[in-house]
Amino acid sequence: MERDIYSNLSPLDARYYKSNKQLLDEISAYLSEKSVIRYEAVVEAAIITVMERYGIIPKGSSEKMKKACREIDPEAVYREEEITRHNIRALVQVLQRSVGEKLAPYIHLTATSEDITGTAAALRMRDVFFRVVLPRAAEFMDVILAIAQREADTVQIGRTHGQHAVPITVGYLFAGYADRFGGRVIKIIDAVRELKGKLSGAVGAYNAQSLIFDDPRRFEEEVLSELRLSPASFSSQIIEPEYTLDLIHAVVSAFGVLAQIADDIRNLQRTEIGELGERFEKGQVGSSTMPHKRNPWNFEHVKSMWKEFTPRMLTRYYDQISEHQRDLTNSASGRFTVEIVTGFTLAVDRLTSQCKKLVVDTERLNNNLEMTKGMFLAEPLYILLALQGVSDAHQVVKELTLRAEKQGKSLFEILEKEKISQEMIRTEAWGKLLDNPSFYTGKAGERALEISRLWKSRVEEIRKECADYRDSLL
Amino acid sequence: MERDIYSNLSPLDARYYKSNKQLLDEISAYLSEKSVIRYEAVVEAAIITVMERYGIIPKGSSEKMKKACREIDPEAVYREEEITRHNIRALVQVLQRSVGEKLAPYIHLTATSEDITGTAAALRMRDVFFRVVLPRAAEFMDVILAIAQREADTVQIGRTHGQHAVPITVGYLFAGYADRFGGRVIKIIDAVRELKGKLSGAVGAYNAQSLIFDDPRRFEEEVLSELRLSPASFSSQIIEPEYTLDLIHAVVSAFGVLAQIADDIRNLQRTEIGELGERFEKGQVGSSTMPHKRNPWNFEHVKSMWKEFTPRMLTRYYDQISEHQRDLTNSASGRFTVEIVTGFTLAVDRLTSQCKKLVVDTERLNNNLEMTKGMFLAEPLYILLALQGVSDAHQVVKELTLRAEKQGKSLFEILEKEKISQEMIRTEAWGKLLDNPSFYTGKAGERALEISRLWKSRVEEIRKECADYRDSLL
Amino acid sequence: MERDIYSNLSPLDARYYKSNKQLLDEISAYLSEKSVIRYEAVVEAAIITVMERYGIIPKGSSEKMKKACREIDPEAVYREEEITRHNIRALVQVLQRSVGEKLAPYIHLTATSEDITGTAAALRMRDVFFRVVLPRAAEFMDVILAIAQREADTVQIGRTHGQHAVPITVGYLFAGYADRFGGRVIKIIDAVRELKGKLSGAVGAYNAQSLIFDDPRRFEEEVLSELRLSPASFSSQIIEPEYTLDLIHAVVSAFGVLAQIADDIRNLQRTEIGELGERFEKGQVGSSTMPHKRNPWNFEHVKSMWKEFTPRMLTRYYDQISEHQRDLTNSASGRFTVEIVTGFTLAVDRLTSQCKKLVVDTERLNNNLEMTKGMFLAEPLYILLALQGVSDAHQVVKELTLRAEKQGKSLFEILEKEKISQEMIRTEAWGKLLDNPSFYTGKAGERALEISRLWKSRVEEIRKECADYRDSLL
Amino acid sequence: MERDIYSNLSPLDARYYKSNKQLLDEISAYLSEKSVIRYEAVVEAAIITVMERYGIIPKGSSEKMKKACREIDPEAVYREEEITRHNIRALVQVLQRSVGEKLAPYIHLTATSEDITGTAAALRMRDVFFRVVLPRAAEFMDVILAIAQREADTVQIGRTHGQHAVPITVGYLFAGYADRFGGRVIKIIDAVRELKGKLSGAVGAYNAQSLIFDDPRRFEEEVLSELRLSPASFSSQIIEPEYTLDLIHAVVSAFGVLAQIADDIRNLQRTEIGELGERFEKGQVGSSTMPHKRNPWNFEHVKSMWKEFTPRMLTRYYDQISEHQRDLTNSASGRFTVEIVTGFTLAVDRLTSQCKKLVVDTERLNNNLEMTKGMFLAEPLYILLALQGVSDAHQVVKELTLRAEKQGKSLFEILEKEKISQEMIRTEAWGKLLDNPSFYTGKAGERALEISRLWKSRVEEIRKECADYRDSLL
């Protein structure tokens, strides 16, 4: 059933599809309605495989079943659902027709719908993360780690409350981003590894399974192991929702780090700051009436996506409640989880391509650094005075800085007239800072490199784990 | 650009599109990407119309422009945007090529992009509400008002805390739903009427417009009046976001009422309660392993949709902040507002069709009413005793009910042995209640009819207002 | 029961109480636990008053009751609740003991608890708004309107995407804030006026009331009219939750405007921008190690409060659902609504006092304006060229600006060499702009004054309405 | 500074304080304003301790400092803050006066405020969890595990969609609650263990520290190790916010499980279901007009608390963004985190005491089980038929159940007339089920015991870890 994308309603299927077709087609293989049916068939096939192993059905059944699953047509399943009004029963009936009357009664036998849909959902999530999302996250890490290393010693004024504080380096800034985002990526992986399946029947007590199997929990384990999953430690009709909840928390909190990065960079592009910039594409227009403008709209876009998707986390918390052995008030809400994953991956990809063309303007960096005429040396001055035993050092320096500000002079000029303090601070450390105030960057450069090295090797491990999940299950 | 709907990512463009194609196609005419471009062209045309009226451009220009607008091809605009990287500049350039070199420079002249997109967004919202959403809401009102009238005197035990309280009627229950939902519909209409446009330029101060017009605010009013809109009382680059915010609040709070209705009905369908039911369709399957089950999944679906969309309100609150004269961190989030409107309309439609086939089971209603053996008469008993001056009436009745409960007897049986109280309550009112306990429904039936009549006439007014916005603007 | 405030857990009862004792004591008179009991007694008294008027109880009863209500001791009610485990029953029993055995049985007669608590909650909200919140909001309006008028012609570069766009004035900026905040204040008033009471009994059908009154709805109206309220158009056990919901929406959206103002001002205080500033108090410390820093922490605080309270709106949406005739899953959540109102009022008050001492730095304003060397004239240049029939005016100007930027020259310098365009733009308008680029502020100054005048008179009306609700109900 | 609790504004400091004084006093020792100052002093003391070890200050300094810290008076610090307008500078000055002029300049030396407040916040959270929250959570686990074991074989109809499905046991239901809640408790512990401190100065680059220490990161480690913490892998002015975020996620998601439990139990108390019940206290009143009612208000309260606190998670996500090296827009919001922890602990405690007096009504359980006249055997019937090779078994059974329903007969009665199917299902398994339909509980009882055993030993480990953090740090 084809449709013009410009008639679609979700931006994800129209404007953003248009803007990043390749990525969204990749995601679609795991998160679209088509993929739902395909993965559900995969789970049904795994049950047949283990039934064959148990000798319940003849050898060769599983091959027949897998073939039927590979060939399944979503359109046909949807047509069937129009009659049955039940999606899994529709799938089962289509598969039954395909495998022939002998095998038919064994398809889905003892399983409840949720055994299939819940397990398939875990599989789809695992695969989309290992095959699409995490490789993208790793690429983003590469890009910001490269900036962290390249700019490890590029001095930049540090800012707290939007006010100049004391200097750091651009590399240190990006090392921090990498450390925070990397930490979240590892949380995501931990959560993906924890995803579980189930095959415990309509209320989770293996009622139906117990009719056939002495040890239905072992049967469950074997089926899930075919899919490289393990069973939930408890299930009712549904898998405990907390596994997915933790994953979405990891995603949403990783999104928060992207938003911080985007927000910082767009602020550093303010006309008055100008320390970072996007390269303009040929033909690009800044504004419909102000052609000269260079708006950081890509970074704004990332923050905007974060604003859209973060509140949706709440729906997932609400979906923790499912009355008694389950109610279905999470049916629609569960389906929209794919939008969060899609939105996040789009944001990662957007930020990656923007950071690749990010320009660091060292002239503006230096101008900004010198803007307060060395005022940031008030901090080391206070510390060096205190080290000499000046008990009200903080107060002394505060007055010096107020005087400097009042007179429009630099802290140095004021200090020169203050003989007493002059003597007290005649230390080597202070001498160095006077020669080169931007030397006051502490361990910024060193730490930028240390953190980068650490994460580079971790990113390699992430890539290895992703590679390990490349093969198809059918 | 065509795409298989089963490859789409949003449930709105796949599963729910499939399940309600007609409704979603109607919505698509106002909320899709295609509609965005069409409505933006409408705004550009209105500017040209008023410029012609002002004599700035030759007579006939507006006709030429309107024709260009009617014929615009979204695909062409998107192609242009790939070069300009600016959606409105792309639209302008496509229109310019279409109208010829003479008129071209006047298109979009003095307007900033947001003058167009902001105004077009208001128009699209207004039209989708008056033409699609509100007519659906009116139909839903019809359905529940009909139930309120039909079942005005069908006695039902009232429930608070999930416990039997005192009786109401089914009609009164539905009259309450109608009153609450109707109140929200009126809030929606109020908010739609308040939607505003703008034509005040890049920072809202009519900088560009002042170069041409002595009274740019009058020009703004004339253009917007072509579109049956009025200007925002203040605008920066953007229209004050509170107009849309109030609309979405009205929608989300109306959604809350739908969720309440759906929740109540699914609870009244519990196996142990069974007062309401859905009619089963032929061929419908209750569960993949439990064929007899009749799950209230449509009502669960409505609640689920509400869970998905309600938290998204927060994004709209966050979008109230747009730094200085505007930042673009609401670009993506603004686009997703269409999902909320779509989700709401789907829920209204689903609930309408379900309520149409809602079955009221009077046998179960009566069984439930009698379940506590008249215990609900404790309330009138207490009041009648108090009216006779028994100062600890509440305490007296409490002890009687505890005794009744302990002995497994009805309140009547206990009362018969209590001579003193017997005498005290020998009133006509009590006699009536003893004869027919379900008579204790207060004004339930009367109020059900009163409220229904009131809303029936209001619904007619709503329909009239909707009809008034039927004509196209081009 | 006294407690050290430093042992309290909520910041509202500890740190923020300490910082604004006067305001929080005022609010406490309406929103504390003490006030809950006091207002509930007020409602019980109104019922007695109307019963006396109806002749059900002897003349003089209502005076006796009012006296009992005025003297009620919250501690005594709480002690009683420890036995009854029911707050309203406890209140009733304390009042009964106080008025004597004759009147006792009539107290609370036919009312359900929610008739009292729901009506009292509406009263408390109404009074806290008219007596505390709205007068504060009016004062804030005064302060920002004064800035809007005073700085109506103080030119400031307009900013979109954090980039310089075209100029506005500081007064126009603040006029916009006033218009948006004022609009929200009016929404708040509308919602307060809409608050409703009820006296319709345990399930809303006037079951109990019908035992005594022929027209129980009229009785309800008379009681509520004593309290200057009217009945909800429908009620179950509870008043329809949408009245309060609309009020909290109005508050939260007003909070959003405060957050925008705070955010803008703190950004305009950035070291690199410095257009606005807070005056430093004597003895104030900027930072524990950087004594010179002047952090806009008060504005950050306002945004922080907004971040804390905005998501709580969702709880109010969830509280729309109350199963059947009511469940109590809104008991706690309902109580926390007072925190939102308190947080909002604190933020209004903080912003008021900060805006009072806000300093506008015209030197920095001018420096920033000149920073892009007239680049913002690209917009009028493009428009004037287009008016002369240059069909690709936008493209032409874009290239000029790129050239200017590349060569580090001002737009004027580049233009001088461009003979053709020189001639085309030799208009009076362009001449004026060349002489004084900051003249390009459109209608900013004029609109700032217009909007201010409008709101000044509206603020007076608000004050009048507040004054109208000053008198006590007991 | 004392205040009447009935004048407080937050329910946590008034109504809920009154209702659970002991618990809230315990929490107050870690989360009140008093505790903030005390813990900040602890961090300042740890710095002095390590400085003494490094030989920067004389031996004995740390003892003097610790004494000053133990004796600190919050009121004095607050008085000082009124002058400095800076809370940490106020604390430092109070401590400086206390230790004498010699040691004074070394207090807080090189630290930025956030080094102290951020580290102290981590400590307070760790201590309140190990000493108050987790011991309570362990007690709750005890209570529900005891129910799981006691009722392992008490048969209950399983419910999906609020409809009867197939049976489980009450013990299995509670085993599931224990497994889910226990899993969340372990998430909480993991997150508490991950909490980090920092001592890296104003922008996180150890600028100030590098003036004194060759290896400032080692100094940081040593100071934090005094407090049994380790440094964040990266810090700017602040510790990466994700550590706390993960903790609050764990808390909020644990709260979700409590809400599920409360919701289920209150539904199982519905008049029509009545499988579970609360024991009534002496003197307790059910309703102000309906004395007989027994409302599950404690369980409703727990859900209500969850509704109040869950949306607040969003504020924590928003607090992930702190511009550049930090802005202060998380100041207020950060302070309110204590309300979430308090609310959660209150809910745990409430549910514990309620579950202790939970009554299981086996008569109602059996009545409900028999309500559908064996209809739940449709599932095993379908499976047994399918195992005999009936390819349309699902369809066959569906028709039988529809017939049964139509004729108002039990499934058994219908089956007796169906000779063909009779023969097909003459299996031992079916025989057993016919004899005792409630036998169809699968592995419910067995799994209930297994899960209980597992968690009992885990709870013991949790208790051990809690005990390990009992000692004071000063």
3-class DSSP string for chain B: CEEEHHHCCCHHHCHHHHHCHHHHHHHHHHHCHHHHHHHHHHHHHHHHHHHHHHCCCCCCHHHHHHHHHHCCCHHHHHHHHHHHCCHHHHHHHHHHHHHCCCCHHHCCCCCCHHHHHHHHHHHHHHHHHHHHHHHHHHHHHHHHHHHHHHCCCCEEEEEECCEEEEEEEHHHHHHHHHHHHHHHHHHHHHHHHHCCECCCCCCCCCCCHHHCCCCHHHHHHHHHHHCCCCECCCECCCECCHHHHHHHHHHHHHHHHHHHHHHHHHHHCCCCCCCEEECCCCCCCCCCCCCCCCCCHHHHHHHHHHHHHHHHHHHHHHCCCCCCCCCCCCHHHHHCHHHHHHHHHHHHHHHHHHHHCEEECHHHHHHHHHCCCCHHHHHHHHHHHHHCCCCCHHHHHHHHHHHHHHHCCCHHHHHHHCHHHHHHCCCHHHHHHHHCHHHCCCCHHHHHHHHHHHHHHHHHHHHHHHHCCCCCCC
Q: Which segment of A185-199, A383-397, A418-432, B11-25 scores lowest on mean pLDDT?
A: A418-432
Judged against a pLDDT cut of 80, whether residue A313 lies above it is answered with yes
Chain C residue with Cα closest to B455? C233
* 3-state secondary structure string across D373-414: CCHHHHHHHHHHHHHCCCCCHHHHHHHHHHHHHHHCCCHHHH
CA angle B148, B153, B154 (to 5 degrees): 85
Contact C424/C388 with Cβ under 8 angstroms? yes
**What is the structure's pLDDT at B286?**
59
User: pLDDT confidence of C83, banded at 50, 70, 90?
Assistant: confident
Give CA separation, C177 vs A58, B218, C254, C270, D5, in Å.
77, 23, 11, 20, 38
Q: Is A373 exposed, middle or buried (0-12, 13-18, 19+ CB in 10 A)?
A: middle
Please check the confidence at residue B284 and state whether its pLDDT lies above 80: no
Inter-residue contact D355 to D147 (CB < 8 Å): yes
d(C-alpha B198, C-alpha B204), whole Å: 8
**Contact predicate A396/A305, CB 8 Å:** no
Chain A: touching chains (3 or more CB pairs < 8 Å): B, C, D
State mean pLDDT over D368-392: 88
Residues 368-387 of A with CB under 8 A from B: none
D293 DSSP assignment: -
Beta bridge partners of B239: B235
**C134-150 helix and C444-467 helix, angle to the nearest 10 degrees:** 160
A10 lies within 8 A of chain B by CB: yes
- Report residue A419's pLDDT band, with 50, 70 and 90 as the boundaries: low
pLDDT-above-70 percentage for chain C: 95
Q: Are C380 and A289 in contact (CB under 8 A)?
A: no
Secondary structure of A300-359 in the HEC alphabet?
A: HHHHHHHHHHHHHHHHHHHCCCCCCCCCCCCHHHHHCHHHHHHHHHHHHHHHHHHHHCEE
Chain B contact set for C447 (CB, 8 A):
205-206, 217, 234
- Write out the two tokens for D286: 């059910």
Arithmetic mean of pLDDT, A264-288? 81
pLDDT at B233 over 80: yes
Q: Which of A129-143, B429-443, C122-136 has the lowest mean pLDDT?
A: B429-443
How far is the alpha carbon of A300 from chain C, nearest alpha carbon, in Å?
8
ipTM over 0.85 threshold:
yes
Given a cut of 60, is residue B462 above it in pLDDT? yes
For position D82, what pLDDT does the model report? Answer: 86
Local structure of A474: helix, strand or coil = coil
Q: For residue D157, what are the β-bridge partners?
A: D167
pLDDT digits (tens, 9 = 90+) for D102-142: 999 999 999 999 999 999 999 999 999 999 999 999 999 99
- C-alpha to C-alpha distance for D286 and B153, rounded to whole angstroms: 28
Is A243:A195 a contact under the CB 8 Å cutoff?
Answer: yes
Do the bridges between strand A276-278 and strand A358-360 make them parallel or antiparallel, or are there none, so unpaired? antiparallel
Q: Do A160 and D237 touch (CB under 8 A)?
A: yes
Q: What distance lies between CA B352 and its chain's CA centroid? A: 12
At residue B327, the pLDDT reads 96
**pLDDT of C38 higher than 60:** yes
Inter-residue contact C125 to C344 (CB < 8 Å): no
**C222: its two tokens:** 């008379």
pLDDT band at residue A286, thresholds of 50, 70 and 90? low
**Angle at CA C163, nearest 5°, toward C161 and C165?**
100
Query: What are the CB-based long-range contacts (under 8 Å, 24+) for B218-221?
Result: B219/B50, B219/B54
Cβ within 8 Å of B, C 29-68? none
Q: Are B336 and B252 in contact (CB under 8 A)?
A: no
How far CA B466 is from CA of A72, A129, A258, B39, B127, in Å, comes to: 46, 47, 44, 19, 9
Q: Which of residues 140-199 of D touch B (CB under 8 A)?
A: 159-166
Chain B: give the shortest CA distance to residue A379, in Å.
32
User: How far is it, in rounded angstroms, from Cα B455 to Cα C169?
Assistant: 50
Quick one: tokens of B40?
């933006």
The beta-carbon neighbor of A290 closest among C271, C292, C378 is: C378
Cβ pair C398:A292 closer than 8 A: yes
Contact A160 D325 (CB under 8 A): yes
CA D260 to chain centroid, in Å, comes to 13
The answer to whether C339 and D306 have CB atoms below 8 angstroms apart is no
- Percent of chain A topping pLDDT 70: 95
Residues of chain D contacting A208 with CB distance shorter than 8 Å: 166, 379-380, 383, 442
Q: Which among B243, B411, D413, D341 has a CA at the least distance from the CA of C180?
A: B243
pLDDT 10s digits, D24-34: 999 999 999 99
Angle between helices C428-435 and C378-387 (to 10 degrees): 170
pLDDT of residue B282: 59
Which CA distances in Å does A57 have to A105, A190, D421? 10, 37, 22
Query: 């998501």: which residue's tokens?
Result: C311
Is D183 within 8 Å of A240 when comparing Cβ atoms? yes
Q: Among B360, B303, B115, which residue's Cα sits nearest to residue B224?
A: B115
**Mutant choice from D115, D325, D326 vs A, greatest count of A C-beta within 10 A:** D325
pLDDT tier, D291 (very low <50, low <70, confident <90, very high otherwise):
low
Does B111 touch chain A if contact means CB atoms closer than 8 Å?
Answer: yes
Mean pLDDT of the region A256-285:
88
Task: Work out the average pLDDT over A447-453.
Answer: 98
Question: Cβ of B205 and C168 within 8 Å?
Answer: yes
Partner-chain contact C271 A398, CB within 8 Å: no
pLDDT of residue A302: 98
pLDDT, tens digit (0-9, with 9 covering 90-100), for D389-432? 887 888 888 888 888 878 888 887 888 777 656 666 667 778 88
- Say which amino acid occupies D438: S
Does the pLDDT at position A205 exceed 70?
Answer: yes
CA distance B15 to C192: 42
Q: What is the mean pLDDT of chain C?
A: 93
The residues that bridge with B157 in the sheet, in sequence order, are B167
At B454 the pLDDT is 98
Distance between CA atoms of residues C91 and C42, nearest Å: 12
> How high is the pLDDT of residue C285?
57
Choose among A313, A36, A309: nearest CA to B8: A36
Task: Mark yes or no for CB contact B161/D296 under 8 Å.
Answer: yes
pLDDT in tens, A330-363: 999 899 999 999 999 999 999 999 999 999 999 9
D271: alpha, beta or left? (left if phi > 0; alpha if psi -120 to 50) = alpha
Does residue C82 belong to the interface with chain D, where contact is any CB pair within 8 Å?
no
Residues C313 and C249 sit within 8 Å (Cβ to Cβ): yes
Q: Which of B293, B397, B401 sits opposite D165 (nearest CB)?
A: B293
> Would you call C44 helix, strand, or coil by DSSP?
helix
C329 touches chain A (CB under 8 A): no
Statement: residue A404 has pLDDT above 90: no
Query: Is B413 an 8 Å CB contact of chain A?
Result: no
Average pLDDT in chain D? 93
Q: What is the pLDDT of residues A23-47, one digit of tens each?
A: 999 999 999 999 999 999 999 999 9
DSSP state letters, C355-372: HHTEEE-HHHHHHHHHTT
Taking the alpha carbons at both ends of chain A, their separation in whole angstroms is 25
Angle between helices B87-99 and B61-70 (to 10 degrees): 120
Grade residue D83 by pLDDT with cuts at 50, 70 and 90: confident
CA dist list (Å): D472 to B90, D29, D39, D220: 68, 12, 11, 21
Note the pTM of the prediction, 2 decimals: 0.97
**Least Cα separation, residue A162 to chain C (angstroms):** 5
Task: Answer whether residue C292 shows pLDDT above 80.
Answer: no
Counting every residue written for chain A, the total comes to 474
pLDDT band at D287 (very low <50, low <70, confident <90, very high): low
